[in-house]
Structure 1
Amino acid sequence: MGTESKSKFITELPMETQEILNDIAYPVNRNDIIEQARKSGAIPDIMRGFGMLPDRQYNSAEDVAEELHIIYLGPPSEKA
């Protein structure tokens, strides 16, 4: 999987989620993401998604987007 396929995950997210993730200074952990979302006034559905993230370090918005993809849709397919 190259950078192309990783960056597509961010475009699958709702615009509000993309904006929150793009406003964060990485690296961050789950609690940092949740705090930023809270400060941004994120709706409950977005907060719930961030709350389901594994507690680990995220190095970019794409890292978070890929993890959200796995949470909601399962691991990405290796097929093109």
Structure 2
Amino acid sequence: MASEESSSGSNSLFIQIQKALKGVDYPTDKQTLVETARSNGASEDVLSALGALPDQQFQTPAEVSKAVGEEET
């Protein structure tokens, strides 16, 4: 059961991240992701997850989600 709860929590975070990144033009970098999320009113959880990403170029929203998932493990 605990793994199901954490999984649904992760899915919720991914949804929040994608909403917070509305309007981002890809490819983009970590700094732009964080700044866009902040200007879109993202929660501290979202800002923290994006802040933990590696400093690199992200080509697609899916690549951002994958990187966030890797940081959570």
- Normalising by structure 2, what TM-score? 0.76
RMSD: 1.7
Q: Give, in whole Å, the separation in 1 of the partners of 2:43 and 2:17.
A: 10
Of structures 1 and 2, the one with the larger relative CO (CA 8 A, separation 6+) is: 1
- Spell out, residue by residue over 1:11-49, the C-alpha distance to the aligned partner (whole angstroms, 9 max, x if none): 935322121234311000000000100100111111011
Which structure has the highest strand share of the two?
2
Instruction: Tell whether the 8 Å contact from 1:20 to 1:40 is kept in structure 2 after alignment.
Output: yes
Q: Give, in whole Å, the separation in 2 of the partners of 1:43 and 1:36.
A: 12
Q: Percent identity?
A: 25
Q: Give, in whole Å, the separation in 2 of the partners of 1:62 and 1:21.
A: 12
Q: Give, in whole Å, the separation in 2 of the partners of 1:69 and 1:46.
A: 12
Q: Give, in whole Å, the separation in 2 of the partners of 1:44 and 1:57.
A: 22
Which structure has the highest helix share of the two?
2
Structure 1 residue aligned with 2:11: 12
State the AA in 1 paired with 2:27.
Answer: P
Alignment gaps of 5+ in structure 1:
1-10, 74-80
- Normalising by structure 1, what TM-score? 0.70
